[in-house]
């Protein structure tokens, strides 16, 4: 009797799965029993109808491995002079040509790309993609570059430069008929992106553009001064909380202490995939220019901890006291170094530390 009751309870708790949406076609109210007005701010629909509509849309494809997918607003952030623009152009070139940067997969078909370059002059750009301003690299014809016309003033009808700039960005998207856009960089879209009040309207406008034109958008951003002994986190992005809330994915470039030319890529946020390139599986790359194309070259996978600046050992008071006492005895710096078994430079540094301590 007890066993029969248990079986009945188990059956009652089983979840009924509908294999296909077609099984519900005779009963459309089962798909969407609530009909919201299209003008309503909050749109309500059944989860079944939500899944049915989503199933008719294409599965997002990788644009740059698991770092950036189609339809995402992705942020790439790093400190100055680490090569954000170099990587961004390389990613854009890969999407327009269909030639991905190994080992990062490119699932989408070759397509036009708009690269908004608010950083470099055309001559600086030329230097990167030529051999001594000769033998230029030939990009695909539908890889477009846009730059800022700094002579323009804000015309009537726009309340400020920010609104004028977003309108100009929208016009460039329409003119080039692209679905992939790279913005280099966020600083030129707002004056104070580190402030939440300024970051919020910016991200809203970018997301509106993305949704309106069904775009895949990569936005470059700076990090403020950070502790290079610590791992990079979402808190290292200017205006981090607001920007991270409104973007779909984010990754970063870190500087390796092992070699001046080494950089590493690390996932910070992702929605279309699990985290693959976290702190224990970063992508170590080297910036190089084999001939006429400045680029990132993948080296290996690694652990972020191995590429961070090491903390200096704290100076112990007795170390300073030993050096000071020997100096007071009349020993030279070299004699002190020989006696304590340390370098001459460290003796000098410890004496200076003693002076600071008074």
User: What is the domain extent for residue 231?
Assistant: 62-307
CB 349 within 8 A of CB 340: no
Does residue 3 belong to any structural domain of this protein? Answer: no
Does residue 153 belong to any structural domain of this protein? Answer: yes
C-alpha 106/C-alpha 104 separation (Å) is: 7
Strand segments (E) across the chain: 62-64, 68-69, 73-78, 113-117, 143-146, 180-184, 216-222, 249-255, 262-269, 282-288, 295-302
What is the SS3 string spanning 67-104? Answer: CEECCCEEEEEECCCCCHHHHHHHHHHHHHHCCCCCCC
C-alpha 195/C-alpha 192 separation (Å) is: 6
Does residue 7 belong to any structural domain of this protein? Answer: no
Mark whether 26 and 167 lie in a shared domain.
no
Does residue 9 belong to any structural domain of this protein? Answer: no
Mark whether 109 and 41 lie in a shared domain.
no
Number of domains, the chain: 3
Mark whether 29 and 133 lie in a shared domain.
no
Mark whether 162 and 303 lie in a shared domain.
yes
What pTM, to 2 d.p., does this model score? Answer: 0.79
Q: Other CB atoms closer than 10 Å to residue 358's CB: what's the count? A: 4
Mark whether 201 and 70 lie in a shared domain.
yes
Residue 24 DSSP class: G
Mark whether 240 and 195 lie in a shared domain.
yes
Would you give per-residue pLDDT tens digits along the chain (358 residues)?
Answer: 555 555 555 554 555 555 666 665 555 556 677 777 878 888 888 888 788 788 888 899 999 999 999 999 999 999 989 999 999 999 999 999 999 999 999 999 999 999 999 999 999 999 999 999 999 999 999 999 999 887 888 899 998 887 888 899 999 999 999 999 999 988 766 654 455 556 667 778 889 999 999 999 999 998 877 888 889 998 888 666 678 888 999 999 999 999 989 999 999 999 999 999 999 999 999 999 999 999 999 999 999 999 998 866 665 666 788 888 898 888 898 888 888 878 777 888 888 878 776 6
CB 320 within 8 A of CB 350: yes
């Amino acid at each position: 009797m007890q066993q029969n009751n248990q079986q009945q309870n188990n059956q009652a708790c089983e979840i009924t799965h509908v294999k296909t949406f077609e099984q519900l076609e005779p009963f459309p109210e089962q798909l969407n029993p609530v009909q919201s007005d299209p003008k309503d701010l909050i749109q309500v629909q059944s989860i079944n109808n939500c899944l049915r509509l989503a199933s008719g849309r294409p599965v997002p494809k990788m644009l740059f491995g698991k770092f950036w997918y189609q339809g995402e607003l992705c942020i790439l952030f790093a400190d100055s002079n680490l090569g954000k623009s170099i990587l961004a152009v390389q990613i854009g070139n890969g999407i327009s040509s269909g030639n991905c940067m190994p080992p990062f997969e490119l699932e989408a078909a070759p397509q036009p790309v708009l690269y908004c370059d608010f950083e470099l002059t055309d001559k600086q750009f030329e230097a990167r993609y030529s051999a001594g301003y000769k033998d230029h690299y030939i990009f695909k014809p539908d890889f477009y570059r846009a730059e800022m016309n700094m002579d323009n003033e804000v015309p009537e009808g726009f309340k400020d430069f920010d609104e004028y700039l977003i309108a100009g960005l929208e016009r460039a998207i329409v003119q080039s008929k692209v679905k992939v856009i790279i913005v280099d960089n966020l600083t030129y879209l707002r004056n104070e992106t580190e402030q939440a009040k300024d970051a919020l309207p910016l991200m809203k406008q970018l997301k509106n553009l993305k949704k309106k034109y069904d775009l895949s958008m990569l936005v470059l951003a700076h990090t403020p001064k950070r502790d290079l002994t610590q791992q990079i986190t979402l808190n290292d992005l200017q205006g981090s909380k607001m920007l991270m809330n409104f973007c779909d994915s984010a990754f970063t470039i870190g500087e390796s202490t092992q070699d001046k030319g080494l950089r590493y890529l690390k996932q910070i946020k992702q929605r279309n995939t699990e985290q693959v390139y976290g702190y224990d599986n970063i992508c170590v790359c080297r910036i190089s220019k084999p001939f006429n194309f400045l680029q990132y070259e993948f080296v290996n996978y690694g652990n972020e901890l191995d590429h961070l600046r090491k903390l200096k050992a704290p100076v112990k008071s007795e170390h300073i006291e030993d050096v000071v006492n020997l100096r007071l005895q009349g020993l030279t710096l070299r004699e002190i170094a020989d006696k304590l078994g340390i370098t001459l430079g460290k003796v000098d540094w410890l004496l200076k530390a003693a002076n600071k301590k008074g």
